[in-house]
Amino acid sequence: MNKVKITADAVLKIIQAVFGDEDVNLAVDDASAPEEWQGKKINDILNVEYYTFKHRPRDTWKVVDSILESTGATNHLAALNRSFCLLSLGDIERLFSKDVDMVTLPGSLEYVVQTEKVKLIESLIEDSNRATCGLRIPVSFGEEERKVVMFFGRPVVSDIRSTTPFGEIAVVTVAVTLIVLPNVTSYSDYTVKIKYPGCTEADGVAVPLSSFSTPNTMTQQAIPRLNKPQDTDNLNLSRARSFVLVFEGYDNPFINWLADWALSVDVANNNNEVLTLNITRGEKTYSHAVIIKDHQLIVNSDTGNETHTLTLVRGGI
């Protein structure tokens, strides 16, 4: 495995992709916000020019000239209302291994932004943390493909500058940490949904898993080798497949249905009720008709949580 080459420009590209995600770059709907902000995207209002020490931001007069050339009129969101952000990286910690490439990247984003926009920075950072929490994000460093776990610190106002050409300016620092991991399929690449009787979701309800496994057991027959009968090969005759799901008792439609199925005293409860199990791994989805083989509902006094262990097998023939 080739080791990744870390550059500030590559890290900045990753961060900007997160900020531009549709779940992060939301439209402003705060009634107390200025009228010219209403309905506009956060990034459009912030109007931030991101840069590293290698690449400096453009001068204001160049921005104004480009606007006049393209539209023939000035746009205050794109000229004197600009903001700036410098990305700098701290000491890079690399795992010393021949086979595993894992890197921790501490860094900081230093915003120079109008004080009225500080709340937008706070919203942008919080939405970024929510969108990326628990996810391994596929990224590229040159030709090397990796996955990144990312989290941001809280925005900290370190300085206020009252009189500048851009108005009252705040210097806002945001710590950011990226953990670069090998390109391995992980928990975040899996989604398991179950469609049960009475389910209103077309492809089933997502189950918040603690763990998921799928044992495949083969039934075999020994076959003597032709020229060496004392030595045998094996032939697989059939395969038994099961799915084991472990999860806590969240207030989830499927989990509530399963608990009711397990605790009900109704003799009409169907032990051969067919469920549809949809397993998504990356971009591919696998669908199985299954029945319940084994289910354990446990209530723990130490954690106070209800937990479930559910074993499903192929069924519905």
Domains assigned to the chain = 8-181 (3.30.2000), 187-314 (2.30.110)
Low-confidence stretches of the chain (pLDDT beneath 70): 1, 54-80, 165-166, 266-269, 317
The per-residue pLDDT for 77 is 46
Calculate helix-pair angle for 118-132, 8-19, nearest 10 degrees. 90
216 residue type, one letter: N
The per-residue pLDDT for 61 is 63
The per-residue pLDDT for 80 is 60
CA atoms within 13 A on the CB side of 19: 25
The per-residue pLDDT for 53 is 79
β-pair type (93-94, 190-195): unpaired
Query: Do residues 162 and 248 touch, judged by C-beta distance below 8 A?
Result: no
Locate tokens 């009900």: which residue?
Answer: 264
The per-residue pLDDT for 59 is 64
The per-residue pLDDT for 142 is 85
How many CB atoms lie under 10 A from the CB of residue 270? 10
The per-residue pLDDT for 67 is 60
The per-residue pLDDT for 196 is 94
